[in-house]
Amino acid sequence: MTNNVNGLLGISAKAGKIVSGSDAVLEKIMSGKVYLTIVAEDASEKTIKNFKFYSEKYNVDFELYGTIENNSKTIGKKNRAIIGITEKNLAENIKKVIHGGGEFG
């Protein structure tokens, strides 16, 4: 499962279909351009709480997944606790795989 999620995150990053970092993701959530918010499991409690709140407020799917180090490496960035997926089909596939939906495609 982890490899499938990481693969999808990598594809999303290469396709330019993600935003990362708290300010950038929050801005895109508020403008309705994020379909899935992924927050690393080892992010601070405050960060998790804030992004869960904003995701619910703006009707964006929210997932806790991975670690800051692993997620950052997967998308080719450093120290990113928050990732926003800006393409609906990719967001749905990532969410499906996180919840054990098997292969993506």
pLDDT averaged over the chain? Answer: 93
Tell me, yes or no, whether 103 lies in a domain. no
Tell me, yes or no, whether 104 lies in a domain. no
Tell me, yes or no, whether 54 lies in a domain. yes
In tens, the pLDDT along 7-45 reads: 999 999 999 999 999 999 999 999 999 999 999 999 999
Tell me, yes or no, whether 9 lies in a domain. yes
- The domain of 94 spans 2-98
- The two tokens of residue 57 are 């407020």
Cα–Cα distance for residue pair 91/28, rounded to 1 Å: 14
Tell me, yes or no, whether 105 lies in a domain. no
Task: Give the number of domains in the chain.
Answer: 1
**pLDDT exceeds cutoff 90 at 92:** yes
